[in-house]
Structure 1
Amino acid sequence: MWIMFSVFGLPIPISATELLLASAVFCLVFWVVRTWRPRVPQGLKSPPEPWGWPLLGHVLTLGKNPHVVLSQLSQRYGDVLQIRIGCTPVLVLSGLDTIRQALVRQGDDFKGRPDLYSFTLITDGQSMTFNPDSGPVWAARRRLAQNALNTFSVASDPSSSSSCYLEDHVSKEAEALLGKFQELMSGPGHFDPYGHVVASVANVIGAMCFGQHFPQSSKEMLSVVESSHDFVESAISGNPVDFFPILKYLPNPGLQRFKSFNQRFLQFVRKTVQEHYQDFDKNSVQDIVGALFKHSEDNSQASSRLISQEKTVNLVNDLFGAGFDTITTAISWSLMYIVTNPKIQRKIQEELDRVIGRARRPRLSDRPQLPYLEAFILETFRHSSFVPFTIPHSTTRDTTLNGFFIPKERCVFINQWQVNHDPKLWGDPSEFRPERFLTSDGTAIDKFASEKVLLFSMGKRRCIGEVMARWEVFLFLAILLQRLEFSVPAGVKVDLTPNYGLTMKHPRCEHVQARLRFPTK
């Protein structure tokens, strides 16, 4: 007889015999764990912990929307609380001030990553982003990746009239996307924009990473990026396979898809990097991979531990991820908010017409003069809060936070969704209102309000692609909204219920329509 469990929405079939065996093993483990508790120094106390089930802990309490449940628990237990998933204690941090204290002011204490099973499946366990390493070698590789990304994204491009490489790539892809949407309107008359946005964003980060070597529109590339949902559905805070080891050995379709995606993606990146290396010229570096190759050759002896051919593959794997899924999800959510808020769309387009006109294309240099569009993007980040948790952290040493003792190697969940929906910060968090980010006269972004939005984490593990992501989302939307008016037919209900994952997606909508706002040459 098989019993079907659903944990975080993931179906897991377990036979009765396996369940009994697992129960016996976990009873023993639970007894051992309960009899061993870290000693709390005098004058300190352990974080408060709600009652949880034996063996299971709070896994059933969390349900399909753990970010919401943990936000509710923080109202009762405070910004620092502890839960258990299985028998593993997990620290949960909420509240903007508490999170800033942990990740910024005490950043060295909270910069670690837990050694989770799912993390070992990403880039064969060598991911800079997910690997537990947080020492000097990790820091040096992170600086190297950050510099390479900046050089071929936000830095100026001497060979182009565009302000930077990113503007050049995004402008080309946005024009292609405009053409694709018009083609779909002249055919079916409606479309689902998500897949087309995925391909366009992949082409942008692919061009920055690989230059002319990136196989745009190849079946292999499209197959990989279009199945990225297999990654974000499993790379979540609270994946049961990370806390119930026996689940690794039981039938688990979601886990198999996760493994398959990681292997396919790694093979795709490795193959593209190797093809690039065959005609690499260190005197003509034009993309991120070329910059990493040059660094490797220039520092082959002095920094042999820092970067090798395989490490180049691993870094590019991380950089592609940093410049792909978050941006794709942000643009997709933005279009859903646009079609459900036509008055907001009109305000954005009035601003675009007033500042830019219709004779030229928007540029990144226009960003400071388009505060309403920027406010709309910030409100999309806040309201959707599509990255509900950061990638889990862990403590690197015994520490304290808000008077609570936190032992070394404690797994830490950072609840970004709670910050973005905290009534104490926002007053009316459930309302979609871009004006909350404008100054009183509406002519600029309120810097204080904008800094309260939490999406890219903060501190030593802050997303290295944040600046690129903000610029890219702005430019894609500015170009699209200058030329097209988006809508859905009357009577069509757009579902904005997020599906929990590393990045939360909205349900797909195939009824989107787009019409030209003015004729083009």
Structure 2
Amino acid sequence: MIPYFFAIFVVLYVIFFYRNVRRYPKGPFPLPIIGNLYHVSVTCLRNNHVFIKDRNGCFTLFLPRPTVMFTTFDTIKESLVTQADSFSGRSQLPPETLLQMHDQTGVLISDGEVWKEQRRVSLRILRELGLGKNLMEAQINRSIDEMMRQLKATNDGVTPFDMNMPLQLCIGNVINETLFGYHFEYTDTERFEYFNSVVTKHLRNLKDNFFVLIVQAWPWAKNIPLIGDKGFKEPLENVAQYQKFIQEEVSKVAEDLHLDNEPTNFVQAYLAEMEKNKGLNMENLHAVVVDFWMAGMETTSTSLKWALLILMQNPEKQERMRDELLSVVGRERRIEMADKPRLPLFVSAIAELQRVANMISFVFFHRCTEDTMIGDKFIPKDTLTFPQIFSVLKDDPIFENPEEFRPERFLEEDGKTVNKKATERMIAFGMGKRQCVGEGLARTEIFLVLGSLLLNYRFIPIEEIDMIPIFGLVLNTRPYKCIVSPL
């Protein structure tokens, strides 16, 4: 009797499984229980655009939880902008929930009213602190000055030099001063390097991790030996290390807080706001700071590392950018954001550098909060969706020969006017209501830091350039050294 009932159960499960499959946009054929995991090898995860060209911008992968992939500019814009309210939810599942110690906290992984309130307050505080204004430019310049002191003291212009730490410290100091009100000196970076290593480990370990996908599909699996260890417990233990770092930094600021004084950093301003806003608390403060530290440091510093690598691969383009900078800025002063309108080639080159590098091939999961249609495709409520930015930056028809580094593609034929169609599709920071909160800061940092470096140094490769990334949630460069030659 038992084999008979088991056979009936299996047949019914398969029938209901494929009946459920038909509810979603058509994709690669899934198998019961494992879904499309048999399609998704490590190579597929590392190159998650492999299915794009055979799909019409919207298809489903069962990972094994059904996930609808948006892979064209039109479908991504339709979901994140036109129907933003319907796609503003988060998964509330691993790997995203492994970022924070408490559910529904912060800005990146929360949704609903919590997300709206934390985002609203955080953006207002950042604006009051000068985000996008001269005050923030001055803060970035202080970090650049520290980087230049480091280069002058440690780089002789002849010996191959590693730009990794100077760039990370420069960008880390910007976000650290914004959040906590101080920056690290290059001679005392032990604590900074420790925290940075924890973040890097977390971002790398969550990619190619099938155990995380299993826990995402079946949360109870976190209690199973091996699966739970690799897919839940180990990532969570690593998270606890940088949560501890953030809590210690917040506590230092809180101890010295005087509410009668004007706040000079984000933590002070948030703590002051807590006195009059019941929607704010310490758990959310810790979470928001984690969000900003991770998003504000790792992606921008990685962008700059890729930028130097690409410019060494294209030395004639590096020289053209430098010539334009020298003709506008010269050697007697530092580059300013006010120079931007007179630097069309440099500005378009930054856009092209970000397009070619594209360290983040996708944004966080977006949960569909109600039954919705994207074109003629039905998306059921609570479906996870995946706006695949990689496919736009690397496969959109407007970017002809996408592997080539061609800054001119962001300019019209006159070499000065912005190409609006190409610029519209440069969606490295996402789109819509969930667009990166720190986009303005990141663009300012890259403009000022890269401009300052090119005005003072020439970057020369010492070996064949390897463009194959180290895979993780952020695609990083492989370690490299170069000649950093003073001009």
Using structure 1 for the length normalisation, give the TM-score.
Answer: 0.84
8 Å CA contact retained: 1:174, 1:480:
no
Q: How far does residue 214 in structure 1 lie from its aligned partner after superposition?
A: 7.2
Residue 16 (structure 2) aligned to one of 28, 35, 39: 35
Change (3 A) 1:405 1:30: farther
- The code of the aligned residue for 1:470 comes to R
8 Å CA contact retained: 2:214, 2:231:
no
Residue 56 (structure 2) aligned to one of 78, 81, 90: 78
Count of aligned residue pairs for this structure pair: 472
Larger deviation: 75-84 or 227-236? 227-236
Indicate yes or no: 2:383 matched with 1:383. Answer: no
Q: How does 1:450-465 map to 2 (within 5 A)?
A: 450-465=423-438
Q: How does 1:176-187 map to 2 (within 5 A)?
A: 176-186=146-156
Residue 432 (structure 1) aligned to one of 405, 408, 420: 405
Q: How far does residue 84 in structure 1 lie from its aligned partner after superposition?
A: 0.9
Distance 2:266 2:60 in 1: 41
Indicate yes or no: 2:34 matched with 1:56. Answer: yes
Indicate yes or no: 2:467 matched with 1:503. Answer: no
Deviations 1:486-505 (A, max 9, x none): 1113xx11101123322111
Q: Structure 2, unaligned stretches of length 5 or more? A: 1-5
Distance 1:404 1:254 in 2: 32
Distance 2:14 2:246 in 1: 42
Distance 1:309 1:107 in 2: 29
Indicate yes or no: 2:144 matched with 1:168. Answer: no
Q: How does 1:79-98 map to 2 (within 5 A)?
A: 79-86=57-64, 88-98=65-75
Change (3 A) 1:29 1:215: farther
8 Å CA contact retained: 1:38, 1:407:
no
Q: How far does residue 324 in structure 1 lie from its aligned partner after superposition?
A: 0.9
Q: How far does residue 164 in structure 1 lie from its aligned partner after superposition?
A: 2.0
Using structure 2 for the length normalisation, give the TM-score.
Answer: 0.89
Q: Structure 1, unaligned stretches of length 5 or more? A: 1-24, 157-162
8 Å CA contact retained: 1:230, 1:258:
no
Change (3 A) 1:500 1:34: farther
8 Å CA contact retained: 2:60, 2:68:
yes
RMSD over aligned Cα atoms = 2.8
- The code of the aligned residue for 2:430 comes to S
Residue in 1 that maps onto 2:101: 124
- The code of the aligned residue for 2:433 comes to K
Residue in 1 that maps onto 2:245: 268
Q: Secondary structure at the match of 2:86?
A: coil
Residue 148 (structure 1) aligned to one of 125, 139, 146: 125
Deviations 1:397-448 (A, max 9, x none): 1111111111111111111100011252212112111110112211243233
Identity percentage of aligned residues:
26
Deviations 1:381-403 (A, max 9, x none): 11122110111111111111111
Q: Secondary structure at the match of 2:459?
A: strand
Q: Secondary structure at the match of 2:49?
A: helix
8 Å CA contact retained: 2:72, 2:396:
no
Deviations 1:192-250 (A, max 9, x none): 21122112211110001111387984522321113322121144597541334547630
Q: Secondary structure at the match of 2:475?
A: coil
Distance 2:438 2:29 in 1: 39
Q: How far does residue 378 in structure 1 lie from its aligned partner after superposition?
A: 0.7
8 Å CA contact retained: 2:58, 2:71:
yes
8 Å CA contact retained: 1:149, 1:319:
no
Distance 1:417 1:508 in 2: 23
Residue 446 (structure 1) aligned to one of 406, 412, 419: 419
Distance 2:12 2:254 in 1: 54
Change (3 A) 1:404 1:169: same
Larger deviation: 309-318 or 332-341? 309-318
Indicate yes or no: 2:391 matched with 1:418. Answer: yes
Indicate yes or no: 2:226 matched with 1:250. Answer: yes
Deviations 1:170-212 (A, max 9, x none): 2122222233234333298112211221122111100011113
Q: How does 1:168-317 map to 2 (within 5 A)?
A: 168-186=138-156, 189-212=159-182, 217-236=188-207, 240-244=211-215, 245=218, 246=221, 249-250=225-226, 258-282=235-259, 283-297=261-275, 299=276, 303-304=277-278, 306-317=279-290
Q: How far does residue 337 in structure 1 lie from its aligned partner after superposition?
A: 0.9
Distance 1:194 1:38 in 2: 51
Distance 1:448 1:197 in 2: 31
